[in-house]
Amino acid sequence: MRNKFLPSFVQRKGRITKSQEDNLKFLHRYHITSHAQILLDKSNFKKIILEIGFGNGENLINLAKENSQNLYIGSEVYMAGIGQVLGAINANELTNIRLITGDIRLLIDKINESVFDEVLIICPDPWPKLKHHKRRMINSEFLDSIYKVLNSDGHLFMSTDWENYAESINESINQNSDFKILNSSPYENITLTKFQQRAIEEGRKIYPFSLQKT
């Protein structure tokens, strides 16, 4: 299918290990491709939480382990990360994770109702060069699309380790007056992901944004 969005990710050729590749054989057990498949699970869980761009899945796996009452839907395009998460799902015998592969914006675009209680995006690709800023996933249009799929009082948590991206996220939030800005979030102290860890080691600050659907 032709993607109407500019790519927000680089297809990382990064090495995939033999075990990550083996794990991908079990993707079909957890893979969802439609809105209808998300709704099938809705009545079995207290909350439905979407993490976009889970990377190696450190946070997704820990949240799912600690909150078996919730369903965690992980979205990623990076096959090594998907393989990594499949291994952790198996090792921890988790039954509350589903995976969406491919550009999440294509699926969100097709959903015309509120589905998610929470949406998390941790360290989205920063696209630091000015000429690439238009590839950044978080912009005003994207916030509108997330607003549409969140349940009332639903929570959007985002964080970036790039000051300039944080400034542009702030501007997008100001343009999108529908969200209420919260002063704190339970997600500010979650398991550090690979990109958060790297940012801290390199002396960069993490900028969190907690928003609530009004």
Ligand X SMILES: C[S@@+](CC[C@H](N)C(=O)[O-])C[C@H]1O[C@@H](n2cnc3c(N)ncnc32)[C@H](O)[C@@H]1O
- Report the interface residues with ligand X, using CB under 6 A: 8-9, 52-55, 75-78, 81, 103-105, 122-125, 137, 193-196
178 is catalytic: no
Q: Tell the smallest beta-carbon distance from residue 10 to ligand X (Å).
A: 8
Task: State the burial class of residue 45 (Cβ atoms within 10 Å of its Cβ: 0-12, 13-18, 19+).
Answer: middle
Of 8 and 96, CB closest to ligand X = 8
Catalytic residue among 22, 109, 117, 125: 125
Q: Tell the smallest beta-carbon distance from residue 26 to ligand X (Å).
A: 20
Closest residue to ligand X, judged by C-beta, is 53
Q: Tell the smallest beta-carbon distance from residue 214 to ligand X (Å).
A: 26
Of 46 and 195, CB closest to ligand X = 195
Of 194 and 204, CB closest to ligand X = 194
Active-site amino acid positions: 125
